[in-house]
Structure 1
Amino acid sequence: MNKAYWGSVRFFRHLYTAGFIVLLSLPVCAAFYFWQVGFAATRDMNRIPTESLARDSLEFMGRDVFSYQKKYPDMMVAPAGNRIVSANTVYLTFDDGPSPVTEKVLDVLKHYRIQGTFFVIGEHLDSPAARETVRRILREGHSLGIHSETHRYRKIYASVEAWLDDFAAVEKRLTDITGVRPTLFRFPGGSINVYNSAIYQELIAEMTRRGYVYFDWNVSAGDISNVPVRPETLFANVVSRTPVEKCAVVLMHDSAGKTGTLKALPKIIEHYRAKGLRFDRLQHDTWPVAFGYRN
């Protein structure tokens, strides 16, 4: 090549022309490259045998996601019919019994000629006295419900299966002792709590599918603590938390040591009576007070 060409005007004209052509070709090359990549991906997807897709779908559909529904097939009761909504009514409920306190609570209710509801723990039914107490509950016209077998939150809320195991155990105890199959229950800690937050919707759905009715509360005496609470404080808690709709499901406890609750009970009853409210027990067809689902 002529040395006069290098660095000449013609050289730079050719250089600019070549660079311009390269710049124009880059988008075309890029488009062609991505088209090839997309085509290759589509081609590879089309190579998946149809029978493999069908087999995978059938395996997923056949997977028993709700295998716990097969547990305890006889643990079913007739679902509630028409729900009874009772305005101006108080439902006194007692958790964690039976205990010697339960007998004294029954004496108070008998004195005032009113009925209550007792949600009991299976492990508290080992003694002859405790078994006689639950018979007395039914004999005197109160409602008897299930609370749990062990009341150990981490154990019973470990899974839906664990919950059903616990529930089946206490249900069998009560049925054997009283000859009556309980259909009411209360979740320990309520239907939604920090221990069952991952499975509470499944628990509620499964127990409802089996026909059982659970009850939360809208008034609490505040006696859940193991530390003794003054009767005046418990009474003030109930009075301040009475719902505006005047249908109160009152949470109290009748486990051993709840003497404050026992002492506050007459004053609580008299307070509601003075307001013109009636007392009743929870039943299978009572419209349940339940906590709302959390998003």
Structure 2
Amino acid sequence: MTQTPMLDAVALAHLETWQGKSETLHDSITAASLAALSATLDRDDPAPAPGTAVPPLWHWLYFLPHARASEIGPDGHPRRGGFLPPVPLPRRMWAGGRLHWDVGNPLQVGQEVQRQSTIESVKHKAGRTGELLFVLVEHRFSNANGLALTEEHDIVYRSAAQPGEAAPAPQKSPLAGQAAWSRAIVPDDVLLFRYSALTFNGHRIHYDRKYVTEVEGYPGLIVHGPLIATLLLDLLRRQLPQAQVTRFEFRAVRPTFDLHPFSVHGRPSPDGKTVELWAQDHEGWLTMQGQATLA
């Protein structure tokens, strides 16, 4: 059945006016958030103290949205509009990103940090399963010493699932069977709840089984994309604890559900300068792929 487009030329032109919009926020790097994520990931880290560096991707514990309860939409996210465009497509996902750290100027506990965010682009596409809208946001994190981290964040909005809609064909990782490191992850309700709580993420797809299955049409709770990306770099840190990550890019390929364990894998390049990282579900299908560059 052909879906009626929700985004005509007028609506799309309105959304495109968000391109170039920016906002600047400030936050403090606190120890409590780092200690809580360390416990959530089952790590045996020393207690963070002033000067402790924020591990790669753990900056997602800061600059959290604090929408009032009356401003929350039916999916648990803040109602659309404001900084992000008010996209009417109902399904919103974190599709991937690219990050660059200045290892000589790390974010550290005790610092006051500024984040400048800019909407770089708003792009529409009609896909096989309906409309898609891609929003690219750039975040620049600075401390008293200057720019510490640059992040490009890919957000994709999708049409609602249709009855009988076929899922995209799964794919295997090009490096399947070639991992040097592997770790099994059990995405139980406690893990998903703790990560949602730490990131103040009210999106119901991560904890409300009735909503995610009956409204958004998924078979189970969805494991957070940022959590999977964090687990990829956590695998690298467990194997190479002294390594300094300067760049990381990742792409979500397929949703991961809480119905079965999944696994994260890594393989360093022969010269040790990069590490290929990927996640796969219980059937071996690729769910996320990424590459880390080391100093």
Higher helix fraction: Structure 1 or Structure 2?
1
Larger radius of gyration: 1
TM over 0.5, yes or no? no
Higher strand fraction: Structure 1 or Structure 2?
2
Q: TM-score range by the shorter chain?
A: under 0.3
